Chains A and B, each alone.
Chain A
């Protein structure tokens, strides 16, 4: 147990939706369909209330992109559950406002994003599309 405490775990940590604060915008993370997390190679965890806050933090250089061991996002189909953000699909739809104004909802499965796209309209984008959109890389 002791060694586990000291070693650098790069596993993601669940977001506490009634206590955790967004590292960027300082808001309490509350909407269980949204949220994101960066785990650095040193095991430091940054939590965000929305994918757009994670992207903005990367874009501002608050966390260096190359220092990250993993990027995670809440899967809107499974509220509160984190999924790999790099392989997630992102629906940008005016009908689905997200916490920080980017109208961005993340789905673990692309098929989920596409079925919501049929219902609400909008555009499905990939992780790399977002990196360009938010000028991260």
Chain B
């Protein structure tokens, strides 16, 4: 009896293999109707050309492959490709002009409640949302480009948008001109690696309620408000670059209610505020470069048990600012270009402790307009007076082992 079962199973598998076939779509044909008539396991190969189609729903495990980058133009009508099945691949298309709706988040490529899907090497131009994954697990989004020419935050959606997903890899994508480049909400155990997001209207990367995700080797530049991460624990950010995010509410990296996380070997350069942290606990900020920012690190009084160690602070207007006269964070072994101490025992560590917060930065924190006094004589006088008789500077916000040279 058992043997018969085995034979039946083998036959069934063989049957699937025999049936799976390549179906070719040429210009003039309909991708949508070919996809509808295809069967699980098929490869639908779309030849180079222009296809005006939308609402192409894929509800079985097929591969949809573009040869020579065919263009699917959604003529602003709605969603363009919608995936509702496991193990679907969409590869090699130009997908342009999704619809726009006040109420619905139309996307060029949407994946819903699916596993093991791959979206690769597509170019998405002028869509409301680019790639939208909702309720998905174990999917990969790789080598896609999304660009939108939206002008305001409200008329544009996000480039790559994930909602309630886990185990997703977002690799080597480029996103520009969207509202947020990469957006995560309720996403767990995912990897964001080697992506570049620039000149997006709001955030280059934005995530909340997304525990246990890793962000490595990404570049976030010239985004309207930089990068924002909030309400999350167990975040690892390694080797990313946060650059040239300028503006009143703009941050290289905005951290809000983050705990038990790790920021290692990143570069924060040319931002209004390199890192702004509020309500952050047990965060390790180690071996990062803070270069030429307005404020390198703003750390608010409600941040506790954070470690700021072995970072380089150079060329920033203010190195560290805070709004509190107390400090419950630990600073050690950082290189401060403003440090004026000496190292008599030549052990590489300054013999005099360094306080990175100065009085004027506290005044600016409370009255931003006073920044116009920067580099004036009165400010030098104030800072000198505070050094002699310290009153305002948090007593424990101190680096007892400042490094004499840049830390590698």
B201 to chain A, nearest CB (A): 8
Q: Is B152 an interface residue (CB 8 A)?
A: yes
Are A18 and B153 within 8 A (Cβ)? yes
By the criterion CB–CB under 8 Å, are A27 and B228 in contact? yes
Chain B residues with CB below 8 A from A96, complex form: 103
**Cβ–Cβ contact B154 & A28, under 8 A:** no
B179 & A21 in contact (Cβ 8 Å cutoff): no
CA distance A116 to B103 in the complex (A): 10
CB distance from A96 to the nearest CB of B (A): 8
B116 within 8 A of A: no
A32 to B105, CA, bound (A): 13
The interface residues of chain A lying within 8 Å CB-to-CB of B154 are 17-18, 30-32, 79
Is A45 close to B, CB under 8 A?
no
Q: A20 to B290, alpha carbons, bound, how many Å?
A: 27
Chain A residues within an 8 Å CB radius of B186: 101
Residue B51 is within 8 A (CB to CB) of chain A in the complex: no
Note all chain A residues with C-beta closer than 8 A to B163. Answer: 97
Our pick among B102, B153, B185, B276 for the contact of A28 (Cβ within 8 Å) is: B153
B154: nearest chain-A partner, CB-CB: A32
1-54 of chain A: CB within 8 A of chain B: 17-19, 21, 25-28, 30-33
Q: A100 at the A/B interface (Cβ < 8 Å)?
A: yes
Which chain A residues border B105 with CB–CB below 8 Å? 97
A contact residues around B249 at 8 Å (CB): 19, 21, 26, 28
Q: Which one of A28, A79, A100 contacts B202 once the chains associate, using CB atoms below 8 Å?
A: A28
Q: How many pairs of residues, A versus B, come closer than 8 Å at their CB atoms?
A: 49
Kindly identify which residue among A19, A25, A30, A97 contacts B179, using a CB–CB cutoff of 8 Å. A30
Q: Decide if B278 touches A26 in the complex (CB within 8 Å).
A: yes
Q: How far is the CA of A31 from the CA of B230 in the complex (A)?
A: 18
Q: In the complex, A19 Cα to B103 Cα: how many Å?
A: 22
The reply to whether B153 and A101 contact each other, CB–CB distance below 8 Å, is no
Contact residues of B between 196 and 252, Cβ < 8 Å to A: 201-202, 206, 208-209, 224-225, 228, 230, 248-249
Q: Tell me if B202 and A101 are in contact (CB < 8 A).
A: no
Q: Is the CB of B208 within 8 A of A28?
A: no
Query: Which of A17, A21, A97 is in CB contact (< 8 Å) with B153?
Result: A17
Least CB distance from B302 to A in Å reads 11
Contacts of A28 in B (CB 8 A): 153, 202, 224-225, 249
Q: Does B254 contact A (CB under 8 A)?
A: yes
Q: Across the interface, which residues of A come within 8 angstroms of B47, CB to CB?
A: none
Residue numbers in B under 8 Å from A26 (CB-CB): 228, 230, 249, 254, 256, 276, 278
Chain B interface residues toward A at CB < 8 A: 102-103, 105, 152-154, 163, 179, 185-186, 201-202, 206, 208-209, 224-225, 228, 230, 248-249, 254, 256, 276, 278
A-B pairs with lowest CB-CB distance, top 3: A30-B153, A32-B154, A21-B249
13 pairs, A vs B, C-beta closer than 8 Å? A18-B154, A19-B248, A26-B230, A26-B254, A26-B278, A28-B224, A30-B201, A30-B202, A31-B153, A32-B154, A33-B102, A97-B163, A100-B208
